[in-house]
Copies of this chain bind each other. A is one copy, B any other.
Amino acid sequence: MKKILSLPSQKLPKIYTMQATKPSLPKGTRDFAPETMAKRNFILNTIREIFQQFGFLPLETPAMEKFDVLTGKYGEEGDKLLFRIFNAGELRNYQPEDYKEKGDAIVKKIADRALRYDLTVPFARFVVMNRNELTFPFKRYQIQPVWRGDSPQKGRYREFYQCDADVVGTESLICEAEIILMIHQTLHRLGIKDFTIKINNRKILAGIAEMMQATGKETDLCVAIDKLDKIGQEKVENELIERGFQQNAIETLRPLLQFQGSNTDKITFLEQFLQTSEVGKKGIAEIKEMTTILQHFSPKTNQPLEAYQTELDITLARGLSYYTGAIFEVKANQVAMGSISGGGRYDNLTGTFGMPNVSGVGFSFGVDRLYDVMEELQLFPKDTLTSTQLLFTNFDATAQQYALPLLYDCRQKGIKAEIFPEHSKLAKQMKYADAKKIPFVVLIGSDEMTSNLLTLKDMNTGEQSKKTWQEIVQLFSTLS
């Protein structure tokens, strides 16, 4: 101990703790102040409404999961991004000697929980734990934050919300068709009109691997061709060689990488390309069946995929290894940004928890990206901030006493109202109303109290008028 205390580096923290802590946020995290909250709630409420309209019910799971539940589900890189948790108090069970000798083992033992990385794995865990109580197919939505220890950068945070909707316990392709409908309706309701829903099917990708005589190398194939948009054909081919694909396999793949055409053209091309691959043909059949269901939903539509701004993208792979059927990814076309929504079908997510053969399909909206897109395109309505509708001024004790029963009356009638809590000058109270975007202020001075005619100020127009209390209440009942 003596030795440590004599080190100068140990003195610094001591001095620091004597000053007030200068507060800051952990890297990659954010506060949401009221105006931001209002805009975020506009997005979340829209999503929630669509989810409910399609029969999804709400679920919430804990922020922390046992470490074992999360590991091995997100690949090696994902595991490294998990935030582990331990209770400082639990360290007390160990002596300093234990700790110095077996620190690593103790930390692993104590830090046996981690913050959730997404909402899909906790959902699978929930389904398995409640398999006997749930009625299948089970449709749930979940809107909660997730945490990833990524390096923060523009638009990428260490804490962010996900909005997931999943159906488990059915292979019906109605679910896939409804995901396209939900994405389409949500984005249009938010005012985002120019977007593309890219779709593909992992079975098609498996078929392609089969045609390349590279069955079992689907993951390497997916990782490489997923980058076609970003790095181009040549670099994708180089990467495939690095990943051990043969030159003739790449020759086989080339026409597919180069193919351009409509959704219908692509399906025709794939039917030819995959004619000897059973799994590939199944993938095409699924895409076609989903298209037919979309057509049935709105029979007047001739080209349902195009009508719902959906594009078959043969190179779309998506990183997550648990997808086995359809995959989705959505981009806003007017803004340079990653995907704003994505998802897919998984046939064995609950298998890792001992409940095999449960097929599910789901998708997720990225709230932060939707927010940034809407901000950039100025799509937020002006009146998102749910604030006070009416402020009573407060000049002195008499005026305060006069105002309080009226304020009480407001709230009984459902009018959001408040009184400035201190006896202050007009300017300060007006500044308060402005900052809070309160649309109306009731001014109560001695004239007003004598005549019982109150001055109502419209903060948007600046107009003032004299009104009885009944008239003011009347005005608000017509406004809301």
Contacts and interface: CB of A to CB of B under 8 A. Distances in A.
Interface stretch (A21-29, A232-240, A467-475): A21-29
B135 A353 contact: no
A322 interface: no
Interface stretch (A195-203, A274-282, A312-320, A408-416): A408-416
Contact of A62 (B159, B422, B432): B159
Contacts of A83: 64, 85-88
Contacts of A419: 174
A30 B170 contact: no
Contacts of A416: 52-55
A205 interface: no
A35 to B, nearest CB: 9
Nearest to A423: B172
Copies of this chain, complex-wide, total 2
Interface string A45-62: 000000011110111111
Interface of A: 19-26, 29-34, 37-38, 41, 52-55, 57-66, 68-69, 79-90, 92, 96, 99-101, 103-104, 106-107, 111, 113-115, 125-126, 128-130, 133, 135, 137, 139-140, 145, 147, 149, 159, 167, 170-172, 174-175, 181, 185, 293, 296-299, 351-354, 385-388, 391, 400-401, 404-405, 407-408, 411, 414-419, 421-422, 431-432, 435-436
Given A21-B352, A297-B404, 13 more contacts: A23-B66, A31-B60, A53-B415, A62-B159, A64-B147, A100-B100, A135-B435, A137-B422, A137-B432, A167-B421, A174-B419, A175-B421, A299-B405
